[in-house]
Amino acid sequence: MRKIFGNQLEFVVSVLDARRQPVNAGIDPAEAQVRASLAAQYSKVVMQILVSCAILLFSFYVILTRQGSEPLQKAAFGFIGTVVGYWLR
């Protein structure tokens, strides 16, 4: 599955899972430290998702409304490719 979706999506899932499930008492201290460090990166991951969504919304708006000039539409296609490439790396 990692070969299809890349490491970034797997990392996001692990961060969101670590934030959702707090560290339980009685688990291995090393595992607890890993989960705590993943949960600490929650705001970074949320901002990555929000910025990606904002860029995609702008790009799709430019492409679907056809109100922009040709260079702007080419840039919108480039933005979409960049965001998709970032999440699939």
Q: How high is the pLDDT of residue 25?
A: 60
Mean pLDDT value across residues 34-38: 79
Q: What is the residue-averaged pLDDT of the chain?
A: 82
Residue 8 tokens, joined: 């970034």
User: Are 39 and 19 spatial neighbours (Cβ–Cβ below 8 Å)?
Assistant: yes
Q: Looking at the whole model, is its pTM more than 0.85? A: no
Q: How high is the pLDDT of residue 43?
A: 85
Question: pLDDT by residue (tens digit) across 63-72?
Answer: 999 877 889 9
Does position 2 have pLDDT exceeding 70, yes or no? Answer: no
* List of long-range contacts for 82-86, beta carbons under 8 Å, 24+ apart: 83/52, 83/55, 83/56, 83/59, 86/8, 86/52
